[in-house]
Amino acid sequence: MGRRAIWPVVAFLLATGDVSAEMYKYIDDQGAMHFVESLNDVPKKHRRKATAAGEGGSVSYTAPAPQDQAAKPKRKISGEERTPFTGTVEIYMTSWCPACKSALAYVKKNGVAYAAYDIEKDEDANRRFAGYGGRGVPLIVVGDQTMRGFDSRTLERWLGR
C-alpha cells in the first residue's frame, strides 16, 4: 500500500475512533484491576464502577521506617515460610501513567515503605531505571526482585504478606 493510500485510512480511523487519551480502570470479579482505552471496552457489568484514570502530578513519599524485623512474624505462603520484606520498595514511574498511580495508591493504602521516582524529571532515577533494564513504567523493585508493570498479588507475595 503506498503512502497516498494510507492517508485516507488514517483519516477514517481518526474520524471514527476514540482519539482521546482517556484511560479507564475497573476491577473484575476476581479482584484484578484492568486498564482499558475506552469505556466500551469495560464489560457491561463493571461499567458503573469503572473510573477514569486521569492525569496528575508525580508522587514521592517514603513511609515511616518499618518496625524491628525480629518483632515481625514469619508467614507461611504456599507451604514455605517467608520473612516480611522490611526495606523500601522503589517505584520508577511517570506522572501520566495509570498503572504507576495504581501502584502508588496500593503502597500508600497498605502502609508499605516506598520511594517513588519520576524518570522524566529525575536524571539519576532515569539512569537507575535503565540499569534495571527498564523499558516501561512502572518498574517496581523489591529487594533483588524487579516487577515490570504492577500486579498487587505478586507485590503482596514479594512483601511476604
Provide the 8-state DSSP code for 12: H
Q: How far apart are the first and last CA of the chain?
A: 54
What is the pLDDT, as a whole number, of residue 142?
Answer: 94
Q: How many CA atoms lie within 13 A of 72 on its CB side?
A: 16
pTM of the model as a whole: 0.52
Q: Give per-10-residue mean pLDDT for the chain (161 aa).
A: 57 46 65 67 77 44 42 50 83 95 94 94 94 92 93 92 81
> How far from 25 is each of 5, 51, 54, 100, 112, CA to CA, in Å?
36, 6, 10, 13, 23
| pLDDT at site 2 | 58
Q: What integer pLDDT is reported at residue 4 of this predicted model?
A: 63
Cell of 54: 486521569
Written as one letter, the residue type at 125 is A
**Please, what is the Cα angle at 60 between 51 and 103, to 5 degrees?**
40
- State residue 139's pLDDT score: 95
